[in-house]
Amino acid sequence: MKSNDMTPAPARLGLRIRAAREASGLTQKALASALGFADRQTLSTIENGERRVQAAELVRFSQTLNKPIEWFIDPFMIVGEASFSWRVSPSVSNESLSDFESRTGQLVGLYRFLKVALNSPSNPLTQVLRIPAHPTFEDAWSWGEALAEKLSLGLIPSQNLAERIESELDIPILFIDAETNSSPEGISGAMCRLPDLGAIVINRRESLVRRHFDVAHELFHALTWDKMPPEHREDPDSPPPVRNRRIEQLADNFAAAVLMPKTSLTKLINPALFNNAEHLSEVAYELQVSTGALAYRLYNAKMIDKPTCDSLCNQKMVKHQTELPKLLSESFVSLLHDGIARGYVSSRKAAKALSMSLEELSSLIRDYDKTVPFSI
């Protein structure tokens, strides 16, 4: 095992200490006193990453904050650094979501660790959208159209979107099994934002059209997070809170334009059948979007009238017969394979971070046609 990369930098350890302190409801002054520090400033320099934590001090932090030492030094931990925005139904309790977020954070942290160890950190010059002071839906449509063209998504954008986001924007798309105790089907996905990495997490058991829309929706958050940070949780099937309603509406309109750019619509729709809901339903199937999404995209673009929009929304969708996406992603599993093979991480530690047994980890690697670099 190569150990030189396994200890978190002072800045990351400081963030974890701050997160644990805040979760315990302690002020800096109260924790500093409990630890026997002379003043609050000592703790402040630790939390800000300006002072290293001594081994004996880490033991006291562990005991006082009721966290195991491993929690503070785990190289895959992203608590204190990461922000999540979840698309989740009200049936999922905050407690269940918090537990699931912790598990998801471990796999995002593992991805980041392996990417840095084997390649290099993510591109710090991540593309962002130039946002005016008061963006309109027209702005969102324009951004979506421009991005579809820039990424060369082709006639059916949904087919290439995830791969292009990874290869061109350096944002991993991770497909997961999003099950919680309170609701096995309540989580659609999330955008995870770290200072040096953004990751889109998608429930692979959602329908094909839902997965496509969630990817495009979360991409909007990835490109606008600094200027328009989203809420921690959003129910995709009900209106978001008033404060963030505009952000989510912009994200939905951006996603619609990415998946259904006018160049594709004009090529796929028979000009003589713009008022024919059955024909438009077939186009929705070809674009791999819902009939409702296409209906409002065409209506907002002034390409159909309201009666046609309503008729298309009422059209029964034909289900796509597709295989379940493989767990995580090819890029992730390639990093995982190489990281284990080259000794950057042990198979047991990787399996623990992924909440898997060694047998399940072995099966995951074989699913991507790779040899298993460890014995069980």
Q: What is the predicted pLDDT for the residue at 1?
A: 47
**Residues 329 and 165: beta-carbon distance below 8 Å:** no
pLDDT value for 161: 98
pLDDT at 179: 74
> Which structure tokens are listed for 187?
């989580």
Q: How far apart are CA 256 and CA 253, in angstroms?
A: 5
Q: Is the dihedral of CA 18, 22, 25, 29 positive or negative?
A: positive
Eight-state DSSP code of residue 273: G
Mean pLDDT per block of 10 residues along the chain (376 residues) reads 58 93 94 92 94 93 94 92 93 90 95 91 68 92 96 97 95 89 76 94 95 97 94 75 77 97 97 96 97 97 96 91 92 97 96 96 97 94
Q: Is 329 exposed, middle or buried (0-12, 13-18, 19+ CB in 10 A)?
A: buried
Supply 82's token pair. Answer: 């990461």
**Per-residue pLDDT, 346:** 96
Q: How far apart are CA 149 and CA 9, in angstroms?
A: 40
The helix-helix angle for 242-259 and 137-150 (nearest 10°) equals: 40
C-alpha 230/C-alpha 243 separation (Å) is 10
Q: What is the torsional sign of CA 260, 262, 266, 270?
A: positive
User: pLDDT tens for residues 26-69?
Assistant: 999 999 999 999 889 999 999 999 999 999 999 999 999 999 99
Q: How many residues belong to the chain?
A: 376
Token pair of 244 as six digits: 């963030």
The pLDDT score that the predictor gives to residue 183 is 56
Q: By the 8 A CB rule, do 345 and 113 touch?
A: yes
Rounded Cα–Cα distance for residues 131 and 146 (Å): 14
Residue carrying the six token digits 């509406």: 249
Q: What is the pLDDT of residue 5?
A: 46
233-234 and 83-88 as β-strands: parallel, antiparallel, unpaired? parallel
Question: What does the pLDDT look like over 96-135, one tens digit per residue?
Answer: 999 999 999 999 999 999 999 998 766 655 667 888 888 9
Question: Read out DSSP for 310-344?
Answer: HHHHTSPPPPP--PPPPSB-HHHHHHHHHHHHTTS
d(CA 57, CA 362): 39
pTM of this structure? 0.90
What is the residue whose two structure tokens read 């796509």?
320
For 354, list phi and psi in degrees, rounded to 5. -95, 5
d(CA 70, CA 114): 19
Say if residues 150 and 178 touch (Cβ distance below 8 Å): no
Phi, psi (deg, nearest 5) at residue 200 = -105, 125
In whole angstroms, what is the distance from residue 370 CA to residue 376 CA?
Answer: 16
Residue 8's pLDDT is: 73
- Mention every residue, 6+ apart, whose C-beta is less than 8 A from residue 323: none
pLDDT of residue 128: 76
